[in-house]
Each structure stands twice: as structure tokens, then as C-alpha cells.
């Protein structure tokens, strides 16, 4: 599938920001099943300082704000060709040892909520069956809802809240999968929802490493494994590793963020 994507994030501040930096993980990379035909990143109100590849082979831009800006816009756009691979990413690559994907992070710390979740899980069947069952169970326990405010929740907090967004689903999935002994990671990317061009937000899902298959994707929020409508942009242990934009600034007062995202064929 040939997807055209345009992703624009605008940050506005009450007061001018004397100094600010942002780490962007907004460049999808070509890999088996995903071919990036063209891609650009533009910054308004700031400048690209450098680019590097992080430990998860994500392409990272470091951007600084121009002095005393009160608005900064990050625009990334391009076209990507995706093949449906039934959610299978395949063999683990790179220097990051698989055991690292079994590490808990602040956002993915297993507590009583995850223990209860696993207790309810039907652990019969193959590894793949188990993980699909986990995905289904999580969506039942935490129905999708955008009602709550956008505060960042840990996996345990999301389980307690009983409703959540894709980010929460992905966190709960990787936390529980790690508890079950699977290396698991968080994926940030784009999804073309069939019924619309303007998407609400960027998407997030999870991948678990299964013996024999390698990495396999699970989109808890939509109850499926990623297909030709999914563009993988960045991966990591949790949201903090893979977030599209992570920032740090001095001053500026209150921040408001506006996202405009179009994904279409």
C-alpha cells in the first residue's frame, strides 16, 4: 500500500522561550516490508542541530528553538510503501541484546494490576495464541477512550483507570508480555484509519519477540496485528524511547500542543 503522510505538530507558549531543545523521532526507515520513497522534516521557529541513529536504530533529529520563540512547528511528510506481512517484523537485529527488552522501565513496571491481568489469561496454546489472547484481554479490561486528559500513565495506572488510549494499551502489553517472559517493545508510528484522512493522533502499538518468528506486532487498540496500513517510525522500551517529540525548555510558561495528521493512500 502506498501511503502519503503529513504530520504537523505545533507548540505554542504563553511567553517567549529563551532556550529549548527537542529530540524528534519522526523519520520512518526502510526495512523489509516498508520502503520509504521520500521523507522530509521541516522546523519552523527552530533549526535542526544534528542527526544520529540511537540504540534502537531510530533516526533522531535534535532541534533547537530559535531564541525567544513562542511558537514552534515540526512538520514531517513523505510517502511510504507498505506490504502486509501479517504483523511479522522478523529476526532481531542490531546490538541491543534481547534481554534489554525484558527490562522494566518507570512506565512499564509490573505490579498487582499486571499480575491480576496475567492471572486471567488463558495460557494454553502457542506463544502466538497467548500473545493474541493477551491483546484481546487488555482491550476488554481497558476499553479505548480519548475522554481522559492526556496525562502520561504508567501501565499500572492505565489498568486502574480502566480506559485508555493506544499508548496505554501498548505499555500494558509490553509490561505483561515481559512478565510472561517475552522480550517486548513499544512502537510509535502511523496508522491509516480507513474511514478518514485526518487522523486524531499518531499511533502506538507493541511488538513481542517470539521464538522462531522473531518480532511480531500487536495493535491492542484495534485488536489486530499491523498490516499494510501501519508505518513503523520508532521503537524502544517504552514511550520515552520512541516518542515522536521529546522536549526540554527553559521558561515559556504553559505549553499547548496541536497535532494535524493526514494519512492517505
Residue 1 within binding range of another protein, rule CB under 8 A: no
- Residue among 30, 31, 44, 51 that touches another protein (CB under 8 A): 51
Q: Cβ 62 to another protein, closest distance in Å?
A: 4
Residue 62 within binding range of another protein, rule CB under 8 A: yes
Is the Cβ of residue 21 or residue 128 nearer to another protein in the bound state? 21
Q: Cβ 99 to another protein, closest distance in Å?
A: 5
- Residue among 99, 124, 151, 181 that touches another protein (CB under 8 A): 99
Residues 155-194: x where in contact with another protein by CB under 8 A, - otherwise, as a string: ----------------------------------------
Q: Cβ 64 to another protein, closest distance in Å?
A: 6
DSSP the chain: -EEEEEEEEEEEEEEEESEEEEEEEEE---BTTEEEEEEEEEEESEEEEEEEE-TT--EEEEEEEPTTEEEEEEEEEEEEEE---TTEEES--SSS-GGGGG---GGG---HHHHHHHHHS---S-HHHHHHHHHHHHHHHS-B---S------HHHHHHHS-B-HHHHHHHHHHHHHHTT--EEEEEEEE--TT-SEESS-EEEEEEEETTTEEEEEBGGGTB---TTEEEEEEESSHHHH-SEEEEEE----EEEEEEEEEE-
- Footprint of another protein (CB under 8 A): 19, 21, 23, 49-55, 60, 62, 64, 94-97, 99-100, 103, 237, 246, 248
Amino acid at each position: 500500500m502506498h501511503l502519503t503522510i503529513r504530520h504537523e505538530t505545533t507548540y505554542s507558549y504563553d511567553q517567549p522561550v529563551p532556550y529549548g531543545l527537542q529530540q524528534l523521532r519522526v523519520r520512518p526507515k526502510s526495512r523489509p516490508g516498508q520502503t520509504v520513497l521520500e521523507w522530509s522534516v521541516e522546523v519552523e521557529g527552530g533549526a535542526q542541530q544534528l542527526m544520529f541513529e540511537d540504540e534502537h536504530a531510530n533516526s533522531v533529529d535534535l532541534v533547537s528553538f530559535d531564541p525567544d520563540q513562542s511558537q514552534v512547528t515540526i512538520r514531517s511528510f513523505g510517502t511510504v510503501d507498505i506490504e502486509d506481512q501479517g504483523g511479522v517484523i522478523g529476526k532481531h537485529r542490531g546490538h541491543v541484546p534481547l534481554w534489554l527488552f525484558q527490562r522494566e522501565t518507570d512506565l512499564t513496571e509490573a505490579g498487582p494490576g499486571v499480575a491480576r491481568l496475567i492471572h486471567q489469561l488463558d495460557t494454553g496454546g502457542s506463544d502466538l495464541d497467548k500473545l493474541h489472547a493477551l491483546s484481546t484481554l487488555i482491550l476488554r479490561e481497558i476499553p479505548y477512550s480519548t475522554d481522559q486528559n492526556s496525562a502520561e500513565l504508567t501501565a499500572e495506572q492505565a489498568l486502574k483507570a480502566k480506559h485508555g488510549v493506544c499508548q496505554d494499551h501498548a505499555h500494558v502489553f509490553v509490561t505483561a508480555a515481559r512478565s510472561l517472559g517475552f522480550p517486548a517493545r513499544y512502537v510509535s508510528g502511523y496508522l491509516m484509519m480507513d474511514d478518514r484522512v485526518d487522523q486524531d493522533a499518531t499511533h502506538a502499538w507493541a511488538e513481542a519477540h517470539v521464538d522462531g518468528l522473531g518480532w511480531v506486532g500487536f495493535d491492542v487498540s484495534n485488536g489486530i496485528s499491523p498490516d499494510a496500513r501501519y508505518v513503523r517510525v520508532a521503537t524502544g522500551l517504552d514511550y520515552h524511547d520512541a516518542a515522536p517529540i521529546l522536549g526540554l525548555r527553559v521558561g515559556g510558561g504553559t505549553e499547548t500542543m496541536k497535532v494535524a495528521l493526514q494519512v492517505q493512500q
